């Protein structure tokens, strides 16, 4: 993970999210095992330190940096659990991560939604074809754009006096 670069903190955070997603897709059951736990192993601690450094370089307050870090993990984990379809693992089957399986599920959702009574679900039925769109990469990029943009808006809204820059703890 690169050194924090304040002008590039947004792109760096997106790169972190993409890397976390790639790792989760390589090891889909890992997400289920780690949900609800704060990673405390040596590698996880180094990773956490770097992510927090990026967030602080972006001008996030201490509280927002920690909340942003935890929400980043939860957001990416939630997306990859949905993306892989990994359940509790009780049936022993491998997760279906191939694009054809995703497209098949999206087509089934579209067909079901299109069959709903239009008078009761006018928006759902009129947008049914959109549910057949299954490009997970594009949806993930939209998700992390919205996430990072939201953090940036929070930073901009914080009073200047509460903002502490990520040069590390003051020595004084």
pLDDT digits (tens, 9 = 90+) for 50-76: 999 999 999 999 999 999 999 999 999
166 pLDDT more than 70:
no
Which pLDDT tens digit goes with each residue over 78-94? 999 888 876 544 455 55
Confidence at 161, pLDDT banded by 50, 70, 90: very low
The per-residue pLDDT for 41 is 82
The position carrying tokens 């599920």 is 105
**Domains in the chain: boundaries:** 6-86+137-162
* Residue 118 DSSP label: T
| Euclidean distance between CA atoms 81 and 85, whole angstroms | 6
Report the mean per-residue pLDDT for the chain.
Answer: 84
Please tell me the CATH code under which domain 6-86+137-162 is placed. Answer: 1.10.357.10
pTM value is 0.79
Query: Which tokens in the block code for residue 140?
Result: 């993930």
As a whole number of Å, the CA-based R_g of the chain is 20
Confidence at 37, pLDDT banded by 50, 70, 90: confident
The residue among 11 and 38 whose pLDDT is bigger is 11
100 pLDDT more than 90:
no
3-state helix, strand, coil in the chain (%, to 5): 70, 0, 30
């Amino acid at each position: 993970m690169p050194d924090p670069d304040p002008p590039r903190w947004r792109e760096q955070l997106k790169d972190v999210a993409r890397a976390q997603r790639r790792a989760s897709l390589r090891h889909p059951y890992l997400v289920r095992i780690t949900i609800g736990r704060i990673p405390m192993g040596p590698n996880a601690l180094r990773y956490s330190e770097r992510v927090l450094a990026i967030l602080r370089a972006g001008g996030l307050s201490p509280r927002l940096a920690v909340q942003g870090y935890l929400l980043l993990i939860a957001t990416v984990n939630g997306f990859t659990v949905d993306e892989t379809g990994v359940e509790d693992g009780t049936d022993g089957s491998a997760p279906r991560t191939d694009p054809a399986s995703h497209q098949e599920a999206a087509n089934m959702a579209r067909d079901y939604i299109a069959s709903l009574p239009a008078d009761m679900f006018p928006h759902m039925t009129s947008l049914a074809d959109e549910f057949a769109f299954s490009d997970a990469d594009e949806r993930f990029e939209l998700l992390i754009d919205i996430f990072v943009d939201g953090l940036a808006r929070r930073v901009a809204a914080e009073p200047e006096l509460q903002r502490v820059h990520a040069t590390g703890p003051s020595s004084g």
